[in-house]
Every structure is written in C-alpha cells, then in structure tokens.
C-alpha cells in the first residue's frame, strides 16, 4: 500500500511513525515538529484536525514540508473533504463515526471517506481503539469482551472498502494492554493476511514503562511476520516527541538482531498507570506533568493490581478511562476524576492529587 512516497506491506521495510503534539493552528510550531520527526526517521507524521480552522492550518503546513502526512479525524468525518488535498493518508476511527450525523448509516460515511481519499490520491487507515468503540458494537458482545468488538469492527470496515474496490488501506487495532494488542492483531492477521497492519499500544504511558509495554507487544507480532508500520505512543512533553521515533527504531533494530524480551515476565502485574500520548487535542499542557506526578505519588501502591488512567483531552478521555479503576481526564482548568465509569467530579490541577490519593487509599482498603 502506498502512502505518499512510501510503500508498506508485501515485505517492504517496517515504517516508524508519530503524531504532532503542537496545536495544529500554530503553523510554525507544527511545521518545526513535523520536520524534526521526519529528520529522526518518521516515515509518516500524523496531524489532528477537529475544525475548519485546523483544516486551513494543515493546508499551510503542507506548503512548508515534503514529509508524508496523515490526518487524524475523530468526530467530524466530513472534514476529510477539506484536508484530503493536503495529506497522504486519512485515519478515521470507526468508533467515532456515530457522533456526527448520527442518523446517517456508517456505511455511507465510509463510502464518503473512500471517495474523498480516492479523488485526492490518499490512503486510508481504519483505526480501531479499545476505548472508543461504537456503543452499538459493544452491545453485540459480552461486557468483558473488548477484543471481539474491535476485531469485528475492523473486519466489517475492511470488507466494506473491499466491496467498493478501495484497496489502499491499512488497519490498526490498539489497546492499552500489550497482551490484548497481540491477540487482536494475531486474530485479524489470520483472517486478513492481505491487509497491512499498523501496530502500537495505545496510552502506553511514560518512558521507560511505555516503551517496555510497546516492545513486548511488537516483539511477539513482528517476530511472527505481523506488522507493517509502528508507533510508540509516549506521554512526553512536546520537545521530546522525537523520542517516540528513536524508541521505535531501537525496538525494530533489536528485533532484527534477535535481542528479545518476549516470554519474560517483564510487567509486574501490580499497579498499572496508562496515559495517552500528548497530541494537539490536549487542552492543558500540565497534563504531561500531572501524569508524572501521579506516577510518583502512587509508588507506595506498586504491589496492588490497580489501573489508573490519565488522559489529556475530552475527545478520548471520557470513554478511555471507563475500564480503569481510577481515571483522570484533563480539561483546560479542571481534571475530571472517575472510579470505573462513575464520575466523582471535577477538581483543579492543584487539588486533584490529594483527591486521587483518597480514592486510591479507599480502593486499596477494599482489596485488603
């Protein structure tokens, strides 16, 4: 499959990619980050577009870079028409298609995306994510089954694109649990070995833990011949975004050299902190610092099998904290705290750590 100047799949080298964390409307900073990521080896750079202003900015970014660009669309799929002339790939999330024009069948929306991509020489990525599945799809499966709806969603969307003769597409199936990433991608590859796969662990978190989680999944898949592009999704400040590319290249080099960790019990099974990679949708850059503070504050609970999720925006935060024992999703001035899928309220950045500790202590007490 061709993405701009690259070809993936069919034995071509695995491509490492990343995503801009700058505000898309800040054209100068976005161009600088695109160029820096490309310089350290990013084969594809993804940029989020959520509004017409973002789309206009992306057009200006394209004028100043030759990098292979992918647009990341979430809730408003129709923005594809505004950005397709300026990118090489359109990434859409099947779980977000229902937000805009909810009365329109998802099949019509995908046909619109495919027609737009075909008209402007773009590839497509079907980006399925465990934390943002279509609610209607979840209802078809048991409440504890997250792999089933992800797999069926990817297969259905791939089948639809096949049926309208759109073949320039790849698929990603991401979860914050490396074992689930391995399982769902292994099952998809068994059914559709012809479709290129983009691999990654979503919300892998901060380095070095986030790199380790990603490595464990990628080693098991790539060693089986599964995977054509990868991303190491790290919670890092904007100035350190290039570390995603460096980590990805190192993982690929180690796999090629046989330096493998897979098969070892590298993850403790105790406290698990997941956090999303910083991107342009983050509404307060204090989110990255907060994720680090949560990690430090909770070290005393390292032995307990508890998951804490720290998310940076309203687009993915509400849904992708549902499966955590304690979830935080960050707004411009307040941090929303959840226990499971139950909201506990919104707290200032100054007070959230104390409230989180109170909830964590209560949760530990309930396990004792």
Residue-range domains of the chain with CATH: 2-257 (3.20.20.20), 272-367 (3.30.413.10)
- Confidence bin at 341 (pLDDT 50/70/90): confident
Residue 128 pLDDT: 96
- Confidence bin at 98 (pLDDT 50/70/90): confident
Q: Which region among 138-142, 239-243, 302-306, 355-359 has the lowest average model confidence (pLDDT)? A: 138-142
Does the pLDDT value for residue 265 go beyond 60? no
Does the pLDDT value for residue 280 go beyond 90? no
Calculate the CA 77 to chain-centre distance: 17
DSSP state of 87: -
The mean pLDDT value of the chain amounts to 93
**H/E stretch holding 210:** helix 209-222
User: For residues 274 and 130, what is the distance between their CA atoms, to the nearest angstrom?
Assistant: 13
Residue 318 pLDDT: 73
Residue 315 pLDDT: 65
Residue 294 pLDDT: 97
Mean pLDDT of 216-240: 95
Does the pLDDT value for residue 57 go beyond 90? yes
The whole model's pTM is what? 0.93
Q: pLDDT by residue (tens digit) across 18-50?
A: 999 999 999 999 999 999 999 999 999 999 999
Mean pLDDT of 85-102: 93
**H/E stretch holding 31:** helix 27-39
Residue 323 pLDDT: 82
Q: pLDDT by residue (tens digit) across 252-263?
A: 999 999 998 855
Q: pLDDT by residue (tens digit) across 316-325?
A: 677 778 889 9
Q: Which two tokens stand for residue 39?
A: 């310089």
Residue 74 pLDDT: 79
Q: Which two tokens stand for residue 351?
A: 């007070």
CB atoms within 10 A of CB 93: 24
Residue 272 pLDDT: 92
Residue 214 pLDDT: 96
User: For residues 213 and 219, what is the distance between their CA atoms, to the nearest angstrom?
Assistant: 10
Give the pairing type, strands 6-7 and 169-174: unpaired
Cis before 20 (ω within 30): no
**H/E stretch holding 327:** strand 326-330
By percentage, how much of the chain surpasses pLDDT 90?
A: 81
Taking phi over 0 as left and psi of -120 to 50 as alpha, with beta for the rest, 4 belongs to left
CB atoms within 10 A of CB 40: 16
DSSP state of 234: B
- Confidence bin at 266 (pLDDT 50/70/90): low
Residue 100 pLDDT: 84
User: For residues 43 and 52, what is the distance between their CA atoms, to the nearest angstrom?
Assistant: 26
């Amino acid at each position: 499959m061709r993405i701009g100047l690259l070809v993936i799949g069919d034995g071509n080298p695995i491509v490492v990619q990343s995503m801009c964390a700058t505000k898309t409307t800040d054209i100068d900073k976005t161009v600088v980050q695109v160029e820096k990521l490309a310089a350290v080896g990013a084969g594809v750079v993804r940029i989020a577009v959520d509004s017409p202003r973002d789309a206009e900015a992306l057009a200006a970014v394209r004028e100043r870079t030759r990098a292979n660009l992918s647009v990341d669309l979430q809730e408003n799929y129709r923005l594809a028409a505004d950005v397709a002339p300026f990118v090489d790939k359109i990434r859409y999330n099947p779980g977000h298609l229902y937000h805009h024009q909810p009365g329109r069948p998802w099949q019509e929306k995908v046909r619109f995306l495919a027609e737009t991509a075909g008209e402007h020489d773009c590839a497509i990525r079907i980006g399925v994510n465990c934390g943002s599945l279509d609610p209607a799809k979840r209802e078809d499966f048991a409440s504890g089954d997250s792999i089933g709806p992800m797999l069926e969603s990817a297969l259905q969307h791939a089948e639809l694109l096949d049926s309208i003769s759109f073949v320039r597409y790849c698929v990603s199936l991401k979860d914050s649990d490396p074992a689930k990433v391995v399982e769902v991608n292994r099952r998809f590859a068994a059914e559709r070995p012809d479709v290129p796969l983009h691999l990654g662990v979503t919300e892998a978190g901060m380095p070095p833990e986030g790199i380790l989680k990603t490595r464990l999944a990628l080693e098991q898949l790539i060693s089986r011949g599964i995977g054509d592009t990868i991303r190491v999704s790290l919670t890092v400040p904007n100035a350190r975004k290039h570390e995603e590319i460096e980590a990805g290249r190192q993982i690929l080099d180690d796999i090629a050299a046989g330096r493998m960790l897979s098969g070892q019990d590298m993850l403790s099974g105790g406290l698990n902190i997941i956090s999303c990679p910083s991107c342009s949708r983050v509404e307060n850059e204090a989110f990255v610092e907060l994720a680090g503070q949560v990690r430090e504050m909770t070290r005393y609970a390292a032995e307990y099998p508890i998951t804490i999720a720290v998310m940076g925006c309203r687009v993915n935060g509400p849904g992708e904290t549902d499966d955590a024992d304690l979830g935080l999703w960050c707004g411009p001035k307040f941090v929303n705290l959840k226990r499971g899928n139950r909201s506990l309220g919104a707290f200032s950045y100054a007070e959230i750590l104390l409230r989180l500790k109170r909830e964590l202590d209560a949760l530990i007490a309930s396990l004792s």
